[in-house]
Amino acid sequence: MRIPEHGSPVAAAILATLAMFWFPGHGCTSPSPRPAGKVAESSSTAAFVDEQQCAGCHVAQAAAWRGSHHSLAMQPATPATVLGDFNDRTFSGSGSSARFTRDAHGRFLVRTQGPDGLTADFPVRYAFGVAPLQQYLLALPRGRLQALSIAWDVEAQKWFHLYPREVIGPNDFLHWTQPAQNWNFMCAECHSTDVRKNYNPALDAYATTWSQINVGCQACHGPASRHVQWATHAHGGPPVDAAHAGLAVDLGAADSATQIDACARCHSRRSVIAPTYEYGKRLLDFYRPVLLEEALYRPDGQQQDEVYEYGSFLQSKMARKGLRCSDCHDPHSARLKSAGNALCVTCHNAAGAALRPGIDGSGLQRKLYDSPEHFFHKAGQPGSRCIECHAPARSYMVVDARIDHSFRIPRPDLTLRIGTPNACNGCHAQRSPQWALAAIRRHHPDFATGPHYGDVLAAGRDASAGAVIRLRDLIGSDRYAPIVRASALRLLQRYPGAYSSELAAAVLHDSDALVRTEAVSGFEDFTIDERRRWLSPLLQDPVRAVRIEAARLLAPLAMQPIPGLTGALGELEAGYTANFDRPEARAGLAELRMAEGRREEAGNLYREALRLWPESQETAINLAELLRLQGREREAEALLRRTLQQHAGDPVVLQALAYSLIRQQRRIEASALLERGARNGRDAALSYLYGLALIDGGQPQRGVRVLEAALAHAPGDRNLLLALASQAQDSGAPQQAQRYLQRLAAINPDDPALPPGQ
């Protein structure tokens, strides 16, 4: 299911809370708070209540929460809450400029470019976050609340741009007026309590509401009306029959997954797959977390882009041993339970840890960790803190440093093998990885440098020799965390023939839903009969993410009486429509309609998606493909040319346009187009097409040179290897052809293009 991600780097990432507001003069529905639900004794459905009731009984918890990032994350813009300098200050950078002032009524104003490119004054309605930076929320028509990309550095006391290396104009995806900075979709669910987005597709407008402006008690514990009834009954009030003292979420359950799923709802990068969240249920019934994908994570799983904590923590040994968020963090203040190394040595010490029930302490060594003997730096100096070596921080939003929750041992040997960073050279940047490895071995002679899943994922990403066999071995091993195995499954899909029926039989029924979901995705290139055979049982999987992924791949059979298909397709469609304010969701529903054979509906949805975001290359390419299928190749070409004007040199658009020209027998034009795109040989797909165009055009030697140049940059590219093997065979060089095929066989021995016995 292709759905837009929440919690992406263009969304605000402070542990903060936002709310909507009324911006007068635009005639739009005012985003507003929603009255707390009345506690009805006869109701079996819990409602949200006024949280002042919580503080009456839970005095200590309320005191800890008060003043936390959660409680102060979103506040009305007042002199007491706005930390930035609005005393007629200006900022310029990243193609943007802004002037920060106060008007005669004391309102905070930002004078900057609006969505039309014209400069105007925009009142600040709310302050967003408190540290280490603060953003400001401005209103646009039709109920939109947008986060300004120029923020206030609380520590340095200065204005700065969140994208300092970009030049961002009003039409740019990252501009503050664009959907990427929209609170209603990107931030609201995690930055307020009980948010109802209330998007109206017909008006392209929001009427967003919330129960509480910030992240309050019920954001984690769920609606509390039945808990209030339970508490009242304890003091002589009417009885209530409800588990967990009337609350839907048992955050103290013995199984750590309940709490981790509750936190991961917001502390993860994920997509929404259901219209309404239900407290206490599994994460994958409502969200699909990202895996260890390129550009998001390093091949060894270290954080790279802004991915928050969940995907990192799932990789950790601590997560697999049963630890959960509240073992380290106070859940109400959000602070660490102990400062510095004192937190880590509650478990990692010489005396032995007094472990909470549910934690597996096997393998936990008893030794003195908090000493120079272990960290071999001077106590109290850089290099002596556990997190510096085992959870190095990376800064996001320019100034917000966040530690890597995968909690790993520094591995300079992986730096040497696959180029991933290591904590040692993070501080000692002037030294080499070899130096770092030698330093560790001097102090820890037993330091292990054996295989790591990063070696395997790197091989899968790079199409290195042995990639497929190593990926399959990793997927089948219970030594690795499910998120690692699922990520390996996704990489395996790049290799035709590699996803065997034997492997499918195992992973389709894996105990972990993340693995099962990705196992279903592996059937993308299977025949529809094979899909029906293997995936039909998954339509009734207990987890929604699995069901709807199976439904997506079985959509061409929508009219057949397959048990569970109609219901799962309904769930899939509901997930798309829940995100209909985003062009990606409309394009995703269009793909579903295409699979169902409903092309006219698909075309309308693609056009709606382009209306919402005209810059979308993927949507334009998909619409062009639909036009081609309808026999409207010229219209498809015109659309692709317009898209190429918007994204000059984009290799994916160039490739699609070249195919259109080739289909129209305009090979000379296609060749000229491809020559420009393949000039440096760094884009394998364009170079492949250009090389074939030259060979077909009677210039085989020149074509081979283009293919070879591209192969130097992408030595494992399947299309390049097969094209070169074919050309070598045709030119009377069978031994050279065999060498290319052997290289392919070393990567993927099951490739169906290989001759028998290769």
- Average pLDDT (538-552) is 98
**DSSP of 603-646:** HHHHHHHHHH-TT-HHHHHHHHHHHHHTT-HHHHHHHHHHHHHH
What amino acid occupies position 66?
R
Res. 268: pLDDT tops 50? yes
**Measured between alpha carbons, how far is 253 from 432 in angstroms, rounded to an integer?**
46
Res. 716: pLDDT tops 70? yes
- Average pLDDT (543-570) is 97
- Average pLDDT (7-25) is 29
What is the residue-averaged pLDDT of the chain?
Answer: 91
**Measured between alpha carbons, how far is 1 from 532 in angstroms, rounded to an integer?**
18
Among 47-61, 206-220, 347-361, 534-548, the range with the most confident prediction by mean pLDDT is 534-548
Percentage of the chain beyond pLDDT 90 is 83
From residue 380, alpha-carbon distances to 340, 372, 624, 672 in Å are 10, 10, 62, 63
**What confidence category does residue 44 fall into, taking pLDDT thresholds of 50, 70 and 90?**
low
**DSSP state, 35?**
P
End-to-end CA distance of the chain: 36
Q: Which domains does the chain have, with CATH numbers?
A: 5-221 (no CATH), 256-411 (no CATH), 666-758 (1.25.40.10)
Task: Tell me the helix, strand and coil percentages in the chain, rounded to 5.
Answer: 45, 10, 45
Do residues 178 and 583 make contact, with C-beta atoms less than 8 angstroms apart?
no
**DSSP of 438-463:** HHHHHH-TT------HHHHHHHHHHT
What amino acid occupies position 306?
E
**Measured between alpha carbons, how far is 328 from 379 in angstroms, rounded to an integer?**
23
**Measured between alpha carbons, how far is 666 from 105 in angstroms, rounded to an integer?**
65
Does residue 249 sit in helix, strand or coil? Answer: coil
**Measured between alpha carbons, how far is 2 from 587 in angstroms, rounded to an integer?**
9
* Beta strands 393-396 and 400-403, pairing class: antiparallel
Q: In this predicted structure, what is the pLDDT of residue 757?
A: 74
Q: In this predicted structure, what is the pLDDT of residue 36?
A: 55
Q: In this predicted structure, what is the pLDDT of residue 19?
A: 25
**What confidence category does residue 228 fall into, taking pLDDT thresholds of 50, 70 and 90?**
very high
**DSSP state, 95?**
T
- Average pLDDT (460-485) is 97
Q: In this predicted structure, what is the pLDDT of residue 72?
A: 87
Do residues 331 and 251 make contact, with C-beta atoms less than 8 angstroms apart?
yes
- Average pLDDT (209-234) is 91
Q: In this predicted structure, what is the pLDDT of residue 23?
A: 25
**More confident of the two residues 288 and 31:** 288
**What confidence category does residue 32 fall into, taking pLDDT thresholds of 50, 70 and 90?**
low
Q: In this predicted structure, what is the pLDDT of residue 237?
A: 63
Res. 29: pLDDT tops 50? no
**What confidence category does residue 595 fall into, taking pLDDT thresholds of 50, 70 and 90?**
very high
- Average pLDDT (468-487) is 97
Q: In this predicted structure, what is the pLDDT of residue 26?
A: 29
**Measured between alpha carbons, how far is 539 from 547 in angstroms, rounded to an integer?**
5
3-state SS record for 135-193: EEEEEECCCEEEECCEEEECCCCEEEECCCCCCCCCCCCCCCCCHHHEHHHHCHHHHCE
Which residue in the block uniquely carries the two structure tokens 């040989």? 681
Res. 404: pLDDT tops 60? yes
**What confidence category does residue 438 fall into, taking pLDDT thresholds of 50, 70 and 90?**
very high
Res. 25: pLDDT tops 70? no
What amino acid occupies position 668?
I
Element (H, E) at 535: helix 528-535
Res. 3: pLDDT tops 70? no
Q: In this predicted structure, what is the pLDDT of residue 233?
A: 81
Token pair in block for residue 272: 């929404």
What amino acid occupies position 148?
L
Token pair in block for residue 504: 């499918």
- Average pLDDT (423-431) is 97
pTM, rounded to two decimals: 0.93
Does residue 412 sit in helix, strand or coil? Answer: helix
Res. 49: pLDDT tops 80? yes
Q: In this predicted structure, what is the pLDDT of residue 15?
A: 26
Q: In this predicted structure, what is the pLDDT of residue 8?
A: 40
**What confidence category does residue 756 fall into, taking pLDDT thresholds of 50, 70 and 90?**
confident
Non-local CB neighbours of 193 within 8 Å, separated by 6+ positions:
17, 48, 210, 211, 212, 213, 214, 215, 216, 218, 219
How many CA atoms does the CB half-sphere of 465 hold within 13 Å?
A: 5
**What confidence category does residue 5 fall into, taking pLDDT thresholds of 50, 70 and 90?**
low
- Average pLDDT (631-635) is 97
Cα dihedral value 161, 165, 171, 177, nearest 10: -20
Does residue 133 sit in helix, strand or coil? Answer: strand
Burial letters for 434-468: b for 16+ Cβ neighbours within 10 Å, e otherwise?
eebbeebeeeeeeeeeeebbbbbbbbbbebbbebb
**What confidence category does residue 16 fall into, taking pLDDT thresholds of 50, 70 and 90?**
very low
Do residues 39 and 229 make contact, with C-beta atoms less than 8 angstroms apart?
yes
Q: In this predicted structure, what is the pLDDT of residue 238?
A: 64
**What confidence category does residue 681 fall into, taking pLDDT thresholds of 50, 70 and 90?**
confident
- Average pLDDT (687-704) is 94
Token pair in block for residue 544: 């929604």
Short-list 447, 375, 371, 367, CA closest to 412: 447
**Measured between alpha carbons, how far is 69 from 71 in angstroms, rounded to an integer?**
6
Q: Is the dihedral of CA 112, 117, 123, 127 positive or negative?
A: negative
